[in-house]
């Protein structure tokens, strides 16, 4: 990327009006409705995963196995979600956003029925794979939709609200999963996911428009339609199937900027999973909580922290973009958005998981439980102060491939998270809670270092490898 691209000035009024026109296709009310629909879809994978975790002991008892074996289903679902995210994101760039929801949600419904009726471990693992695959487009394609309808200086706030709504699953899922598991059966929860997926599918069919910018899908480009032609055309080009490489989006990770930001988001998520996955074996055992509903309730502070942190961080990242662009006399530097992530990455995330390990080890009784819940809330806020600006940054610098860049990030995160989740319980059994959490804190600080490097050297690193970065004119 040359120096001119890195320091694109503010657009003149006529160009700015033309640039903004593509973001004015939908009214503010339509944008809110579209955001609500895609946020509901993004909520599902988090809800399905979050509600599964507190059910692990009951599932293990029901299928006559150990919690460690059932916890492998969490790793499998992470891998499946990453794979599906890449598939849906790649095809959304060719066919558009709307068809991905129409195809993915039925798979979610089928997978949920399969999980709910599973009677053996192989069945459970297979249907969890299908379920996670079907719901996986929610985050990557949803991020692409947000990029389609909101311009640069609004995108951080919109992305934050999108993530906050999606992460409502983290707040609701554990308590719902624990309550249903304890007072009814974990299988009823899967039936509920089937029903919710079916309702959302109908809503997508009737109320979700295509949000891809006119003339920008692969199908339209192959039909050699110009944007003005598409605006006037009564119908989109006829459907035809093409084989695309879903792993092609991983090639974007050769950019050091994208790779480091993705690593930082992976690092903070590892700390969140490090607190969530072993909850029944750490908080439950230490403080004598055996009721799945009460264990699920312990997840609520973290979910509330997610909901508070995501929109706040998104708003702050927009303010950073506006503030620093003004200070530079109109020059837009994408890395300015990441300045909003520094405090959370350096302090809130690593210190919260480290403090939780210390409290669990040394402070018994009600005081220890209350302090742990405070740590969970702080971790939830901190994680999203990193995720929200990081996601918006990736969309900023690769706006024309927004869904694919989100999916590429999900793919790399899956590698880290699947390995981390599989190793959490063995590490606690071997090394103890405090040592395991200290490792998590170290990973969190490594994530902060990655953020700092991108802020400090981002322009130089973009110049090393040009993967088709966006400029102010194309954002």
pLDDT tens, position by position, 132-174: 999 888 888 988 899 889 888 788 888 888 887 777 776 677 7
> What average pLDDT does the segment 215-231 reach?
61
Q: What is the 8-class DSSP label of residue 249?
A: G
**Which of 13-17, 176-180, 182-186, 412-416 shows the lowest mean pLDDT across its residues?**
13-17
Please classify residue 181 by burial: count the beta carbons closer than 10 Å to its beta carbon, then call 0-12 exposed, 13-18 middle and 19+ buried. Answer: buried
pLDDT at residue 99, as a whole number:
92
Question: Which CA distances in Å does 233 have to 94, 236, 290?
Answer: 18, 7, 61
Tell me how far apart the alpha carbons of residues 366 and 364 are, in angstroms, rounded to a whole number. 7
Q: What span, in angstroms and rounded, lies between the C-alpha atoms of 222 and 206?
A: 27
Token pair 């918006």 in the structure block, residue? 392
Alpha-carbon gap, residue 190 to 124, rounded angstroms: 12
Q: Which two tokens stand for residue 215?
A: 């003339």
The pLDDT value given to residue 376:
94
* Residue boundaries of the structural domains of the chain: 26-208+250-470
Q: Residue 81 pLDDT > 50, yes or no? A: yes
> What is the spatial distance between Cα 391 and Cα 160, in angstroms, rounded to a whole number?
9
Band of the pLDDT at 465, cuts 50, 70, 90? Answer: confident
Q: What is the DSSP letter of 63?
A: T
234, two tokens: 């009564």
The answer to whether residue 475 scores a pLDDT higher than 90 is no
- Distance (Å, whole) CA 305 – CA 405: 26
Predicted local distance difference test score (pLDDT) of residue 10: 42
The answer on pLDDT for 217 being more than 90 is no
In the predicted model, is pLDDT for residue 229 greater than 50? no
Range scoring the smallest mean pLDDT among 44-53, 257-266, 361-370:
44-53
What pTM does this model have?
0.77
Measure the CA–CA gap between 228 and 98, rounded to whole angstroms. Answer: 21
Copy the structure tokens of residue 257: 């900027």
Tokens of 390: 């990081």
Question: d(Cα 204, Cα 139) in Å, to the nearest integer?
Answer: 15
- Average pLDDT rounded to a whole number, residues 342-368: 93
CATH 1.20.1250.20 applies to domain 26-208+250-470: yes
- Residue 16 makes CB contacts below 8 A (sequence gap 6+) with 10
- Identify the pLDDT of residue 267: 92
Q: What is the pLDDT, as a whole number, of residue 424?
A: 85
Cα gap 17→353, rounded to integer Å = 47
What is residue 234's predicted lDDT score, i.e. its pLDDT? 43
> Is residue 370's pLDDT more than 90?
yes
pLDDT reading at 340 higher than 80: yes
Do the beta carbons of residue 398 and residue 258 sit within 8 Å?
A: yes
Residue linked to tokens 């405070």: 374
Confidence of residue 3 (pLDDT cuts 50, 70, 90): very low
- The CA angle 344-73-106, to the nearest 5 degrees, is 95
In angstroms, the Cα distances linking 239 to 82, 207, 220, 230 are 26, 21, 10, 15
Residue 409 has pLDDT above 60, yes or no: yes
Comparing 27 with 421, the larger pLDDT belongs to 27
Q: What is the mean pLDDT of the chain?
A: 84
The average pLDDT across 4-29 equals 60
For position 233, what pLDDT does the model report? Answer: 44
- pLDDT interval class at 381 (50, 70, 90): very high
Place of tokens 């390995």: 419
Tens digits of residue pLDDT in 267-303: 998 998 888 878 878 888 888 887 767 777 787 888 8
Mean pLDDT: which of 57-61, 188-192, 291-295 is highest? Answer: 188-192
pLDDT bucket at 17, cuts 50 / 70 / 90: low
Of the pLDDT bands very low, low, confident and very high (cuts 50, 70, 90), residue 440 is very high
pLDDT number for residue 203: 94
Rounded distance, CA 222 to CA 252, Å? 23
Q: What pLDDT, on the 0 to 100 scale, is given for residue 225?
A: 54
């Amino acid at each position: 990327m040359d120096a001119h691209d890195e320091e694109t000035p503010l657009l003149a009024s006529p160009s700015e009006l033309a640039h903004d026109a593509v973001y004015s296709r939908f009214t503010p009310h339509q944008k809110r409705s579209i955001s609500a629909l895609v946020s509901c879809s993004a909520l599902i994978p988090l809800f399905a995963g979050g509600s599964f975790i507190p059910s692990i002991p009951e599932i293990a008892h029901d299928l006559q196995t150990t919690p460690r074996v059932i916890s492998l289903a969490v790793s499998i679902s992470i891998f499946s979600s990453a794979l599906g995210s890449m598939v849906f994101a790649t095809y959304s760039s060719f066919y558009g956003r709307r068809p991905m929801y129409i195809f993915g949600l039925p798979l979610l419904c089928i997978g949920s029925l399969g999980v709910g009726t599973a009677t053996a471990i192989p069945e459970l693992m297979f249907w969890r794979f299908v379920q996670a695959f079907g719901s996986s487009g929610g985050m990557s394609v949803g991020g692409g939709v947000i990029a389609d309808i909101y311009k640069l200086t609004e995108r951080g706030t919109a992305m934050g609200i999108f993530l906050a709504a999606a992460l409502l699953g983290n707040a609701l899922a554990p308590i719902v999963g624990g309550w249903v598991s304890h007072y009814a059966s974990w299988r009823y929860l899967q039936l509920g996911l089937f029903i919710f997926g079916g309702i959302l599918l109908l809503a997508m069919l009737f109320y979700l428009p295509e949000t891809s910018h006119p003339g920008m899908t692969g199908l339209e480009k192959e039909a050699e339609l110009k944007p003005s032609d598409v605006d006037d055309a009564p119908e989109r080009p006829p459907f035809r199937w093409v084989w695309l490489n879903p792993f092609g989006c991983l090639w974007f990770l050769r950019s050091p900027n994208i790779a480091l930001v993705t690593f930082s988001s992976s690092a903070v998520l590892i700390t969140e999973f490090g607190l969530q996955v072993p909850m029944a074996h750490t908080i439950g055992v230490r403080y004598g909580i055996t009721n799945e509903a009460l264990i699920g309730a312990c997840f609520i502070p973290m979910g509330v922290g997610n909901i508070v942190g995501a929109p706040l961080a998104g708003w702050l990242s927009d303010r950073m973009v506006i503030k620093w662009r003004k200070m530079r006399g109109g020059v837009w530097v994408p890395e300015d958005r990441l300045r909003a992530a520094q405090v959370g990455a350096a302090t809130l995330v690593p210190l919260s998981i480290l403090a939780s390990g210390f409290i669990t080890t040394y402070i018994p009784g009600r005081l220890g439980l209350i302090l742990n819940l405070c740590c969970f809330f702080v971790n939830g806020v901190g994680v999203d102060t990193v995720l929200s600006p990081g996601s918006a940054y990736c969309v900023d610098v690769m706006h024309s491939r927004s869904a694919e860049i989100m999916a590429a990030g999900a793919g790399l995160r899956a590698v880290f998270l699947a390995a981390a989740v599989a190793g959490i319980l063995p590490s606690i059994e071997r090394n103890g809670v405090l040592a395991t959490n200290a490792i998590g804190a170290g990973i969190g600080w490594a994530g902060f270092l990655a953020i700092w490097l991108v802020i400090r050297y981002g322009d130089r690193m973009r110049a090393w490898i040009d993967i088709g970065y966006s400029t102010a004119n194309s954002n």
